[in-house]
Amino acid sequence: MRLKPSLDWLLVFVPVTAGLEWSAPEAHAWIFASACLAILPLAGWLGHATEHLASHTGEGVGGLLNATFGNAAELIIAIAALQRGLHDVVKASLTGSIIGNILLVAGLAMLAGGLRRPTQSFQALAARAQATLLILSAIALVVPAVFHHVARASREVENDLSLEIALVLLAIYAAHLVFSLATHSSFFRGLPSSAEAEAAESHAPWSRGRSIAVLAAATALIAWMSEILVGSVEQAAHAWGMSQVFVGVIVVAVIGNAAEHSSAIVMAWKNRMDLSLSIAVGSSIQVALFVAPLLVLLSYAVGPAPMDLVFTPAEVLAVVVTAVIAAQIASDGESNWLEGAMLLAVYVILAIAFYFLPDTARAAAR
């Protein structure tokens, strides 16, 4: 599902970004802004191609494809940051994705859908299962942070702890795929929707070859733009008077998940709250249980040093609050516009806090 009017015109910023990088390499703020705009439509095409490619596979393979490519744009940005040793930016973007998908995306979706209908319903069992996984991910962030401040262990010990926790998270994510796609797939089929919504969702899938070609092209261009974006993030943050934490938590996270943001809101507008929440909450689960531990593993092969899971107290608090809120909204199986507005209010409060949080706070946490 693509928003109308299309954002494809933003593809013009792909050559613009390349031109700025070549002709004005010191214009970091302009390069960063242009790269962000270039990634937006590319992320949309990446998600669109993944959706069509998944239609040619079974449910299991389709779920794996969506798990792998649903956050591909963000994963590529994070890998580019890992190569430069910008672990703070990586962790901030992970935090931003987790809280952004629940508070910003789900909030906007509930608000948009609630403007058309007094209440909207969704499968409470599936939502509660996903909320429980988010609480697990919050625990996985709390433990390394508490260990860091209590044990005062060496960096090598903290790296080993993070690596072992990452393996546990990947195992739980694999179990979640089996649970949602095989043994308890009926929980995730959603409530019956209107014929109008079903008709709006029907479309002829692309051929397998076209899907792979678009997927490969979008991935390559996102990798190129991400390399440029990460190369200018530090200088751009300084030029705009923003901390790297704020840029990672808010700006980079929103850009990396742009395609999923638009899809979740459109689905809620069409009264498909099961699908909308599946996109929003499912994306946070993918980030917490798949992307984050995968980046820990990749950091041993990419970049100057391994990345740990020791997040700042502010980041841990934000994720814990978000997980608790997700459990609360999943409890009754219904949503309305006021719940969406409250989720957005929490997101704005956290964004304000991260804006005023200096980069020295992370250094102090270490």
Supply the pLDDT for residue 57. Answer: 62
How far apart CA 73 and CA 253 sit, in angstroms, is: 10
Residue 176 lies in a domain: yes
Supply the pLDDT for residue 1. Answer: 42
Cβ neighbour number for residue 169 with a 10 Å cutoff: 22
| Surface-to-core class of residue 232, CB atoms within 10 Å of its CB (0-12 exposed, 13-18 middle, 19+ buried) | buried
Q: Which of the residue ranges 21-25, 165-169, 185-189 would you say has the lowest mean pLDDT?
A: 185-189
Identify the band that residue 215 occupies on the pLDDT scale cut at 50, 70 and 90.
confident
Phi, psi at 276, each rounded to 5°: -60, -50
Asked if 233 and 256 touch (Cβ cutoff 8 Å), the reply is: no
Supply the pLDDT for residue 65. Answer: 63
Q: Angle 350-352-353 (CA atoms, 0-180°, nearest 5)?
A: 65
Rounded mean pLDDT, 41-59: 72
Residue 2 lies in a domain: no
Domain count, the chain: 1
Q: Per-residue pLDDT for 34 more than 80?
A: yes
Identify the band that residue 299 occupies on the pLDDT scale cut at 50, 70 and 90.
very high
Residue 143 lies in a domain: yes
Q: Tell me the residue ranges of DSSP E strands in 80-183.
A: 120-121
Supply the pLDDT for residue 88. Answer: 87
Q: Which residue has the higher pLDDT, 177 or 306?
A: 306
For 64, 236, 324, 358, the CA distances from 233, given in Å and listed in that order, are: 31, 5, 31, 16
Q: Per-residue pLDDT for 364 more than 70?
A: no
Residue 193 lies in a domain: yes
Supply the pLDDT for residue 195. Answer: 39
Q: Maximum Cα–Cα distance for the chain, whole Å?
A: 59
Number of H helices, E strands in the chain: 18, 2
Residue 235 belongs to what domain range? 8-365
Q: Per-residue pLDDT for 315 more than 80?
A: yes
Asked if 69 and 215 touch (Cβ cutoff 8 Å), the reply is: yes
Supply the pLDDT for residue 292. Answer: 92
| Surface-to-core class of residue 183, CB atoms within 10 Å of its CB (0-12 exposed, 13-18 middle, 19+ buried) | exposed
Give CA 353 to chain center in angstroms. Answer: 20
Rounded mean pLDDT, 315-332: 88
Residue 1 lies in a domain: no
How far apart CA 218 and CA 210 sit, in angstroms, is: 12
Supply the pLDDT for residue 64. Answer: 53
pTM over 0.85: no
Supply the pLDDT for residue 61. Answer: 54
Phi, psi at 300, each rounded to 5°: -75, -20
Residue 3 lies in a domain: no
Supply the pLDDT for residue 4. Answer: 44
Identify the band that residue 70 occupies on the pLDDT scale cut at 50, 70 and 90.
low
Identify the band that residue 2 occupies on the pLDDT scale cut at 50, 70 and 90.
very low
Give the pLDDT confidence of 228-267 residue by residue, as tens digits. Answer: 888 888 788 888 888 878 888 888 777 776 666 777 787 7
**Tally of residues, the chain:** 366
Q: Per-residue pLDDT for 30 more than 80?
A: yes
Identify the band that residue 20 occupies on the pLDDT scale cut at 50, 70 and 90.
very high
Identify the band that residue 194 occupies on the pLDDT scale cut at 50, 70 and 90.
very low
Rounded mean pLDDT, 274-293: 85
Asked if 98 and 319 touch (Cβ cutoff 8 Å), the reply is: yes
Q: Which residue has the higher pLDDT, 1 or 315?
A: 315
